[in-house]
A = this chain, B = another copy of it.
C-alpha cells in the first residue's frame, strides 16, 4: 500500500515541527508539497526538507500537488478559506488550532468536509502528548477518584510570527493562541464531549507587548462542566524563561501533576552557553532546563500518525472539527466574560467576526 500524500500548507514554526514528525515517526505518510506565500521561502523549505514540490499559490497547492491530505499550518484567518477549498477538492484535512476565526466559519468548514465525505481532524496535540496521555489513563483507572479541578498552563514570552499580534489575522491574543490547548484538554480529560456549563475569564493587555498588539497578553479562564468539575486555563505571552506547559488534576481520591518542559528536562549549567535549551528559552548561559524530543513530548508525531491512520483505515479521528468548534465557542464566551465581568453560560451564540471583539467591544 503506497504512502499517504500530504500537502503541507504553511512553512512557519509549526510546519517545521510537523515535517520533523512525519519524517521521523509517520512512515505511512509522504509530504509531497509545501505551500507558503513567498515563492523563495517555499522553495527553500522544500529543499531543506526533501519535499519534491513547492507552491506559492494556495489553490494550486491543493489542486495540483496530488495530495490525499492537506495539513493546515497557516495563520488563523486563512483556515476557513483553505478548508473549504480542500474539501471541494476532495482532500482530507488536518488543521492546527484554533479551528477558525468564528463559529460560522467553523460550521461551514465542518459542513464542507462532511458534505465531501472527507475527514476533518482538529490537531490538538495535548490529546496525544504521551505524558498527559499517561495522566489520562491513570485517571481513567480511578487513580485520583472523581475529578473536581484541573489546571493547565501554557505560557511563554510571545509567538514567533508577527501575524499573531495582529488581531485581524489571529482573532485574539494569548487565549486564542494557547488557551485553546487547555480548554481542549479539559474536555478530553472529561471524556471528550462533556457538557460545558459556563466560563469566566480575566484578561490583561499590553504588558511586555505594549504597542505591539491589541490582543490579550495574559489570561485566566475558569471553565465549569456539568459534572461540577472546573478547568482553570492560564495562558500568557508575557512569561519569561521559556515555554511552560503543565497540568494539575485534583480528584477526590488523589492528585497528579505533570509538566512537559521543566518536568522532562535535563538540568544544565553552562558558563559559555550552548545552542538550544527549549522553545523560547532565551539565553543558554547559566542554568537552563534542556528539553529533548520536544515534538514527541508534545504529541505532534502521535497526533499526525493517528490522522494518517484514520485516513488509511477510514476511521473517525479522536479529535474532530466539532471539538475545535466547541473550544472556539468556549473561547468566545471567555472573551465576553472578560468584558462583562460575569460568568457566561454555554451554549453561547455570537455573530462577531473575531472572538476578541467580544472583549475589546
Q: A204-B228, A228-B204 are in contact. Are A144 and B255 (CB under 8 A)?
A: no
Chain B residues within 8 Å of A257, by CB: 266-268
Q: List 12 A-B contacts (CB under 8 A).
A: A27-B28, A131-B266, A131-B293, A148-B207, A149-B218, A240-B271, A253-B271, A256-B267, A263-B265, A287-B289, A296-B296, A341-B343
Could you say how many copies of this chain the assembly holds? 4
CB distance from A44 to the nearest CB of B (A): 25
Does the CB pair B145–A271 fall under 8 Å?
A: yes
Chain B residues within 8 Å of A269, by CB: 144, 240-241, 254-256
Does the CB pair A266–B135 fall under 8 Å?
A: yes
Chain B residues within 8 Å of A256, by CB: 266-269, 290
Give the distance in Å from the alpha carbon of A144 to the alpha carbon of B293 in the complex.
21
Does the CB pair B131–A292 fall under 8 Å?
A: yes
CB distance from A334 to the nearest CB of B (A): 13
Q: A135-B266, A238-B148 are in contact. Are A273 and B143 (CB under 8 A)?
A: yes
Other A-B contacts than A138-B268, A285-B285, 8 sampled, CB-CB below 8 A, are: A134-B292, A138-B266, A200-B202, A200-B341, A253-B270, A255-B269, A258-B266, A296-B296
- A208, CB-defined interface residue at 8 Å: yes
CB distance from A101 to the nearest CB of B (A): 27
| CB 8 Å contact bits of A130-150 with B (1 = contact, 0 = none) | 110111001001111100110
Number of interface residues of A (CB under 8 A): 72
Max chain B Cβ within 10 angstroms of own Cβ: one of A204, A224, A273, A274 = A274
Residues of A bordering B, CB below 8 Å: 25, 27-28, 130-131, 133-135, 138, 141-145, 148-149, 198, 200, 202, 204, 207-208, 218, 220, 222, 224, 228, 230, 232, 234, 236, 238-241, 250, 252-258, 263-275, 282-293, 296, 341-343
